[in-house]
Amino acid sequence: MFESGPFVAEHVSETDDEQVQPNGVDLTLEAVYEQREPGRIGRETKEVGERQQLETEQVADDAPETYYLTSGGYVVQYAETVEIPENHVGYVYPRSSLLRNSCMLNTAVWDAGYEGKGEGLLEVHHDIEIETGARIAQLVLAEADHDGTYAGSYQGENVGLDEF
């Protein structure tokens, strides 16, 4: 069973009322990165290639911190700290307005016990402007059995908990 938006909101910080949806919570954009060096996926280990944070620009008087993105693939970081509670699994879906603008947000499984500001892969098929703080995705939580909790290398990512 999927949980309600208000339940999901108890596990996401900081959120405002506008982010709480019937079935989940919207995640907003904090930063956009462009990968510069190759990563590596091995049998036992993996490495994330070096990336560079892009600069925002002022595209309008009321939009001072906006990313202007041309076609390509970008790593996006969400602004909210997410904590996936025990007995649950998380899924993040793109906001449909991205799809309607020829963009796609690719996401993977969010494990029980994970905590951090996660990342996704934004595919841009047509130039788009995205303001920092804009809602780009929605997190939903489903009840799930699990064997152990998340203890991988991304635990505490982007929130200064990396030593955990």
Contact between 153 and ligand DUT per CB under 6 A: yes
b/e burial code for range 136-148 (CB count within 10 A of at least 16 → b): bbbbbbeeeeeee
Min dist. Cβ of residue 91 to ligand DUT (A): 9
Strand (E) or helix (H) holding 93: strand 88-94
Of 3-11, 32-40, 115-123, 125-133: span binding ligand DUT (CB under 6 A)? 115-123
Number of residues that bind ligand DUT (CB under 6 A): 15
Contact between 91 and ligand DUT per CB under 6 A: no
Contact between 118 and ligand DUT per CB under 6 A: yes
| Exposed/middle/buried for residue 7 (C-beta within 10 Å: 0-12, 13-18, 19+) | middle
Of 6-14, 26-34, 110-118, 140-148: span binding ligand DUT (CB under 6 A)? 110-118
Min dist. Cβ of residue 59 to ligand DUT (A): 27
β partners of residue 148:
none
Q: Residue written as tokens 């009840």?
A: 143
